[in-house]
Amino acid sequence: MPELAAACLEIRGLTKRFGGFYALNELDMEVATGHIHALIGPNGAGKTTFFNLLTGVLAADEGAIVFEGRALDEARPSRRTVRGIARTFQNIRLFPHLTALETVMIGEHCRAYGSTWRALGAAVLRRPFGEAAEERRMRENAMELLAFLGLANHGKERASNLSYGDQRRLEIARALATQPRLLLLDEPAAGLNPNETAALDETITRIRDRGVTVVLIEHDMNLVMGISDRVTVLNFGTKIAEGTPGEVQTHPAVLEAYLGEDVKP
């Protein structure tokens, strides 16, 4: 019988060194399917490195990653995206000259066309006028995603002309366009005002409800503690605590990492 609530992601002994510096040291972690799993820790704790290792932007020195019961052997980021892992970036990285709609359609490309040859064929061998069926479907999906993130009116605007909060949301829309089953959000609330953060709270929950497992790096503790099913705390590349938001908040090692050494007499 298949295991119930199987882990979406299993990490075993994941290690990344930069020279002699351990950005990530023997990390073991499990992310349950359908959870919102937060990853917190002080700056430089190795959170973004973890995302880079998951998406293949960096290669791990040691350790294993198992995604949906199968080893994540693919080296190249694009292959991992096709497997079903998508991410956003801490420092927003959109394609400045593309419109919002085009940006989302970039995310859909890998699903619409299996290979570059098929994409080339579709580009050259279509009817002389009008939009290809594939392209129309991509456009409709992209519109739906923009609407999902409240960007329906910004489709024709250039990504670089959008406001900061809209750019953050556009990044999420682009990631969702790749139809991931695991979404990695890298500080999605950074630079947002309180209203936008509250809306983000709801957005992430709705993404989870679409059947996407979410791993969230975030410094906004209200957001993290409000929506996370589970929280992992990193410090200096090592896991120092893990549990429900309530457990983690009172964990002595976490308090020490965030507030400094015990100053009681």
If the CB atoms of residues 8 and 105 are measured against another protein, the closer one turns out to be 105
* 32, 57, 225, 255: residue in contact with another protein (rule CB under 8 A): 57
Residue 122 or 198 having the CB closest to another protein: 122
Q: Which stretch binds another protein (CB under 8 A): 2-10, 12-20, 72-80, 210-218?
A: 72-80
Kindly write out the interface string for residues 229-248 of this chain, putting x where it contacts another protein by CB under 8 A and - elsewhere: --------------------
Which residue from 25, 48, 81, 235 is in contact with another protein, where contact means CB under 8 A? 81
Q: Measured at the alpha carbon of residue 78, what is the angle toward residues 73 and 84, in degrees to the nearest 5?
A: 70
Query: Binding another protein by CB under 8 A: which of 115, 209, 210, 259?
Result: 115
Closest Cα partner for 107 from 126, 94, 122, 90? 94
Distances in Å between the alpha carbon of 178 and those of 112, 160, 174, 182, 212? 10, 21, 7, 11, 12
Q: Which candidate, 78, 89, 68, 17, places its Cα nearest to that of 46?
A: 17
Query: Cα–Cα distance between 129 and 144 in angstroms, integer?
Result: 25
Q: Is 102 in the site for another protein (CB under 8 A)?
A: yes
- Nearest distance in Å: CB 106, another protein: 5
- Binding to another protein by CB under 8 A, coded x per residue (else -) over 127-146, reads -----x-xx--x--------
* Shortest distance, position 87 Cβ to another protein, whole Å: 6
Report the residue number, 106 or 199, with the smaller CB distance to another protein. 106
Nearer to another protein, 146 or 227 (CB): 146
Q: Which of 176, 177, 150 is nearest to 163 (CA)?
A: 150
Q: 65 and 80 in contact (C-beta within 8 Å)?
A: no
Instruction: Lay out the sheet containing 21-32: strands in order across.
Output: 21-32, 7-18, 62-67, 70-71
145 contact partners, CB below 8 Å, separation of at least 6: 104, 173, 176, 177
Any bridge partners for residue 65, and if so which?
Answer: 11
- Per CB under 8 A, does 48 bind another protein? no
| CA pair distance 57, 46, nearest whole angstrom | 14
Which of 22, 61, 89, 199 touches another protein by CB under 8 A?
Answer: 89
The residues in 174-193 that bind another protein, with binding defined as CB under 8 A, are 174-175, 178
For another protein (CB under 8 A), the number of binding residues is 41
Report if residue 124 touches another protein, rule: CB under 8 A: yes
Q: Both tokens of residue 2?
A: 């298949």
**Residues at the site binding another protein, with contacts judged by CB under 8 A:** 55, 57, 76-78, 81-82, 86-87, 89, 93-98, 102, 105-113, 115-116, 119-120, 122-124, 126, 132, 134-135, 138, 174-175, 178
